[in-house]
């Protein structure tokens, strides 16, 4: 069973779009015919934690505009984000330089090797014709939007064309994905199988449905049992090989992995982790504290995707949307510095030409 049936009435979109389903082995998690509502429930304790997030001071729009409202302010901020200790030549790493002006952006010329570096060269802004103020506003809007921001909303708010907004959105999501890729989960890690997409009408139902894109949902916990970090990774399927590869890339050796009875998860031992199976029996999601945080994360993800985005190609771009979600989730206690951290990540990120931005992800 998938969530498609349970969510159809919530959304006017076709059932095969923007649905996260989480198939249990038949009968093991919820009774046949019972709508699986676990993903929509936020447990009380996590609701308290969420309040801590909701009421923290973010960076207000007036404050943002005061700091980044002009092209000169944005250029200075970008320069600082790239070279906080002063310019270093990317070719020879020397610091002696002069600044050439006249073009749109500052150009730094190295005294030692004469190499010229534009302020935006080597960042995701490379080659842009847009003012930096537009990019900075996009970074602000994307980082402050509680449940993500669609390209259409970005188009309206930035006053740019839809293709431009789409490209800005995807470049920023790729920055977040690159950042998230660096982390590995450690300690107690709870994992579960989940899917983007539901079944097409008339298609196969459940695991194996052709329009579903599988991903591993994982949450590491702190010593007092609260979520530390989450990862949502597309996988080719729930096979032992895929899970062993996933574990090698995303788990620290020595971690303890908790899952339900889905067989493939025992392959985490290939990455030096211990595996503990929770027998779910006939119990419901609420009765299973082991899955509380996974369910909370997936519930938030579902709200974020169905509330903010129209249909997107799950296989091609799913990894980016998932990374944009986890980027925000993993920094949920720090909304105020989120825009500047995303800016720093964008400044340090390799440029993304349009072609590679549109390319499919390598995961599947
Ligand atoms: Zn040089």
What value does the mean pLDDT take over residues 101-109? Answer: 89
Q: How far is the CA of 97 from the centre of ligand 1 (A)?
A: 8
What is the pLDDT at residue 269? 92
Distance 87 CA to ligand 1 centre (A): 10
Neighbours of 213 (CB within 10 A): 20
Q: How far is the CA of 126 from the centre of ligand 1 (A)?
A: 19
Distance from residue 56's CA to the centre of ligand 1 (Å): 44
CA of 110 to the centre of ligand 1 (A): 5
pLDDT confidence band for 326 (50 / 70 / 90): very high
Where residue 196 falls among pLDDT bands split at 50, 70, 90?
confident
Please tell me the pTM assigned to this model: 0.77
- Two structure tokens written together for 37: 């509502």
Q: Residue 364: its pLDDT value, please?
A: 20
Q: Which of the two residues, 358 and 90, has the higher pLDDT score?
A: 90
Q: Distance, CA 136 to ligand 1 centroid (Å)?
A: 29
Q: What is the mean pLDDT of residues 71-96?
A: 92
**CA distance to 53, 85, 178, 301, per residue, from 101 (Å):** 44, 21, 32, 46
Q: Which residues pair with 259 in a beta bridge?
A: 277
d(CA 237, CA 223): 31
C-alpha–C-alpha distance, residues 242 and 149, integer Å: 31
- Rounded to a whole number of angstroms, the distance between the first and last alpha carbons of the chain is 24
For residue 325, give both structure tokens.
Answer: 């979600």
CA 119 to ligand 1 center in whole angstroms: 15
pLDDT band per the 50, 70, 90 thresholds, residue 305 = confident
Task: Tell me, in angstroms, the distance from the centre of ligand 1 to residue 76's CA.
Answer: 21
Q: Given this model, what pLDDT does residue 122 score?
A: 86
Q: What pLDDT is recorded for position 308? A: 66
Long-range contacts of range 98-105, CB-CB < 8 Å, 24 or more positions apart? 105/75
Cα 320 to ligand 1 centre (Å): 35
Average pLDDT over residues 340-355: 74
Query: What distance in Å separates the CA atoms of residue 306 and residue 303, rounded to the nearest whole number?
Result: 5
Three-state secondary structure readout of the chain: CCCHHHHHHHCCCCCCCCCEECCCCCCCCCCCCCCCCHHHCCCHHHHHHHHHHHCCCCCCHHHHHHHHCCHHHHHHHHHHHHCCCCCCCCCCCCCCEEEECCCCCCEEEECCCCCEEECCCCCCCCCCCCCHHHHHHHHHHHHHCCCCCCHHHHHHHHCCCHHHHHHHHHHHHHHHHHHHHCCCECCEEEEEEEEECCCCCCCCCCCCCCCCEEEEEEEEECCCCCEEEEEEEECCCCCHHHHHHHHHHHECCCCEEEECCCHHHHHHHHHCCEEEECCCCCCCHHHCHHHHHHHHHHHHHHHHHHHHCCCCCHHHHHHHHHHHHHHHHHCCCCHHHHHHHHHHHHHCCCCCCHHHHHCCCCCC
Pairing of strands 227-234, 274-277: unpaired
Check pLDDT > 50 for residue 139: yes
Say how many Å lie between the CA of residue 348 and the centre of ligand 1.
19
């Amino acid at each position: 069973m998938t969530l498609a049936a349970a969510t159809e009435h919530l959304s006017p979109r076709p059932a095969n779009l923007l649905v996260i389903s989480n198939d249990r082995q038949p009968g093991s998690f919820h009774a046949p015919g019972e709508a699986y509502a676990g993903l929509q429930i936020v447990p009380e304790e996590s609701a308290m934690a969420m309040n801590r997030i909701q009421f923290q001071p973010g960076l207000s729009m007036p404050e943002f505009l005061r700091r980044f409202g002009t092209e000169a302010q944005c250029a200075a901020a970008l320069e600082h984000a790239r070279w906080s200790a002063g310019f270093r030549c990317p070719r020879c790493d020397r610091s002696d330089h002069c600044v050439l002006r006249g073009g749109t952006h500052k150009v730094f010329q190295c005294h030692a090797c004469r190499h010229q570096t534009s302020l935006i060269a080597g960042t995701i802004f490379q080659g842009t014709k847009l003012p930096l103020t537009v990019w900075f506003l996009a970074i602000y809007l994307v980082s402050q939007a509680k449940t993500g921001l669609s390209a259409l909303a970005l188009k309206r708010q930035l006053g740019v064309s839809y293709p431009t907004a789409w490209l800005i959105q995807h470049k920023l999501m790729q920055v977040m994905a690159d950042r998230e890729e660096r982390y590995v989960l450690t300690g107690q890690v709870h994992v579960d199988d989940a899917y983007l997409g539901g079944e097409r009408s008339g298609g196969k139902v459940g695991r194996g449905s052709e329009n579903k894109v599988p991903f591993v949902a994982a949450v590491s916990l702190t010593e007092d049992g609260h979520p530390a970090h989450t990862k949502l990774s597309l996988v080719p399927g729930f096979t032992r090989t895929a899970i062993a590869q996933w574990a090698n890339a995303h788990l620290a050796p020595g971690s303890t992995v908790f899952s339900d009875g889905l067989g493939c998860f025992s392959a985490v031992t290939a990455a030096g982790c211990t595996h503990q199976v929770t027998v779910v029996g006939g119990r419901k999601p609420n009765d299973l504290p082991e899955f509380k945080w996974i369910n909370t994360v997936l519930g938030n993800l579902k709200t974020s995707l169905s509330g903010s985005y129209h249909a997107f190609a799950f296989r091609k771009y799913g990894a980016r949307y998932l990374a944009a979600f986890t980027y925000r989730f993993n920094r949920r206690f720090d909304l105020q510095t989120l825009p500047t951290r995303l800016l720093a990540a964008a400044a340090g990120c390799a440029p993304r030409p349009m072609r590679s931005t549109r390319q499919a992800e390598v995961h599947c």
